[in-house]
Structure 1
């Protein structure tokens, strides 16, 4: 329903897919660790502390593609949001515009894109759904 509502406003359907791509953990193979956790649990032993999942590196081409997609979405959201909310989300739009103007180092691309994605999600959440 959200995708249909966004499409009615001119926001591409691929935005949700790109947001999921950035916000997922993209972990490597951890099947063997899960087997060990199951074995420990069966004997009543506590599971070992889990390390954060290893994140696959984000290539410069992927980072540029996603940044471009988010910047295009930002331009649309700045135009559409004031008509879809009960109050003008000044702080959320300010953050979104600031992130669209930021140019991070390649080593900081993933964290930057995650912050950008969360800012977009927060704004989409404020916009809500027409069906409500």
Structure 2
């Protein structure tokens, strides 16, 4: 069946999550510090191969009124280059509240500010992926 990779694409980082083989649960695996687009793609290619990824979900930040702003346009462009580079199907998933949700969970768990900064992107990717997996399992 293959695994699904979830990505939280940000200005400075890309949070990465991977599903289990059955496509039920999402686990944050890495935060890529963005350098050059080629380097980012290469790392994503390595992770895809390592985990046997067969499709990818990228969080699409929308405005609360459901429109796509500049940040969303960047994510769409990233998704298209990802599809071309990795030759895998790429879906977009509305991620409006994923980072907020990740931060709230970390705050409730009383994780220090420094530690939160290190894991929030990875956790946001896991939330995006988990929501995507949950919606697909209901079909």
- TM-score class, shorter-chain normalisation, is under 0.3
Decide which structure has greater strand share: 2
So what's the TM-score if we normalise by structure 1? Answer: 0.26
Structure richer in helix, relative to its length: 1
